Copies of this chain bind each other. A is one copy, B any other.
Amino acid sequence: MHAAFAIGVDVGGTSLGAGLVERDGRVIAESRRDTPDSGPFGVVDAIIEVIEEVQGQVHAGDVAGIGLGLPAQIDFRKQTVEFCTNLPLTGIDVRSLVTSRVKHGVTLDNDGHAAALGESRFGVAKGVRDFIMVTIGTGVGGGIFVDGKQYRGHRGLAGELGHAVVDLEGPECPCGGKGHLEAFVGGPAIARRGREVAESFAGTSLREAAGGDVESVTAQTVVDAAREGSAEAQKILSEVGTVLGRGLVGLVNLLNPRLIVIGGAVGSSSSLIVDRVRETLEAEAMAGRRDAQVARSELGTDAGLLGAAALALDEYDTRQGLHR
């Protein structure tokens, strides 16, 4: 007898969601809301709320546990939050706070790692042993699969691929660094560029997409406007894709992956970004590595939630002595 379900929670800088997930990856129930900006306990309360909304759908005994993907650096062995750029969770004992209020065991992981596991188990990276997952949302993160397993590094902090220097004189990054990939490609950078363009003489279509309110332009506004044909929005995402591609040149040369998956709220909703990344890698990656495929996430914004659920199932199976 083993549990047939797990709850996966994906916490992003903008929204958070929980899903009750079957072993085959089907999402039986899902709950999502905006991430509150009312401090660490507000975030924890919202996490509890979305869990409670989905957990009642089945008997507690059928749930393997809860996987929690956070946009934070997680010491995976200690299960602690070491550092969180985009939410006030640095040093907060999220695992204990959540565990004390739910019926199930809780396992934390970095959200990019969770998304990579999700794509590996249920998505476009199924069966691929060496791949890189890139998530573009509020932050830029991801995970690296080496020989079929998540690569975690010596303290479990590996995979922060948004924080590589791509421009020596580049702009400040939310992490405190300078010229990092995230400072060009992350949601806030896209939104800022969108507002600049919307304010300019040429930005008519973006201004219209924002209902005339330039200050309300977000990364999602730019993505939506691009899909509806705004040439200015398409140009912004095209530039984002080129910089992302140039950042990934180094990773492809370094890691020689078979596949790169582009996901996250922004990455999974723009084929333009994926196309530019592919073209840039074909042009600039070293010979012999240009066979690295570039694919858009199949799971979209559910990748993290599904991966978090897979993590909880893996933990449960390991405890039960069931090995994958």
Complexed CA–CA distance, A179 and B249 (Å): 11
Cβ < 8 Å to B, chain A residues 134-152: 144, 146, 151-152
Do B256 and A288 touch across chains, with their CB atoms under 8 A apart?
no
Chain B contacts for A180, CB-based, 8 A: 250
Given contacts A161-B254, A165-B166, contact A151 B155 (CB under 8 A): no
A171 to B103, CA, bound (A): 58
A53 within 8 A of B: no
Task: Report whether A250 and B286 are in contact in the complex, using a CB–CB cutoff of 8 Å.
Answer: no
**Per-position 1/0 for A166-181, Cβ under 8 A of B:** 1111100001111111
Q: How far is the CB of A297 from chain B (nearest CB, A)?
A: 20
Question: Which residues, 75 to 99 on A, are CB-close (under 8 Å) to B?
Answer: 75, 82-83, 90
In this assembly, does A255 line the interface, its C-beta being within 8 Å of a C-beta of chain B? yes
* Contact present for A246 and B165 (CB under 8 Å): yes
Label chain A's interface by main secondary structure.
loop
Question: Could you tell me which residues of chain A, from 153 to 168, have a CB within 8 Å of some CB in chain B?
Answer: 153-161, 163-168
Chain B residues with Cβ below 8 Å from A164 are 164, 249-251, 253-254
Task: Contacts A154-B130, A257-B153 given; indicate if A286 touches B73 (C-beta within 8 A).
Answer: yes
Q: Please name all residues of chain B whose beta carbon is closer than 8 Å to the beta carbon of A298 when the two chains form the complex.
A: none
CA distance A254 to B166 in the complex (A): 14
Give the Cβ gap from A307 to chain B, nearest Cβ, in Å: 19
**Does the CB pair B289–A177 fall under 8 Å?**
no
Point out the residue from B154, B250, B256 that lies within 8 Å of A153, measured CB to CB: B256
**Closest beta carbon of chain B to A111's beta carbon, Å:** 15
Contact B165 A168 (CB under 8 A): no
CB distance from A152 to the nearest CB of B (A): 7
Contact A286:B160 (CB < 8 A) given known A249-B177, A250-B250, A251-B254: yes
A258 located at the interface, meaning its Cβ lies under 8 Å from any Cβ of chain B in the complex = yes
- CB of A1 within 8 Å of the partner chain: no
A199 within 8 A of B: no
Quick one: closest B residue to A142, CB to CB?
B254
The answer on a CB contact under 8 Å between A161 and B253 is yes
In the assembled complex, which residues on chain B have CB atoms less than 8 Å from the CB atom of A284? 176-178
- A157 CB contacts on chain B under 8 angstroms: 256, 286, 288-289
* Cβ < 8 Å to B, chain A residues 218-254: 243, 246-247, 249-251, 253-254
Chain B, residue nearest A144 (CB): B254
What CA separation (Å) do A130 and B152 show in the bound complex? 10
Contacts of A153 in B (CB 8 A): 130, 255-257
A/B interface sample: 17 pairs, CB < 8 A: A73-B287, A75-B288, A83-B286, A129-B154, A146-B146, A152-B256, A154-B256, A158-B254, A160-B253, A164-B251, A164-B254, A165-B249, A167-B169, A168-B243, A168-B246, A176-B284, A177-B284
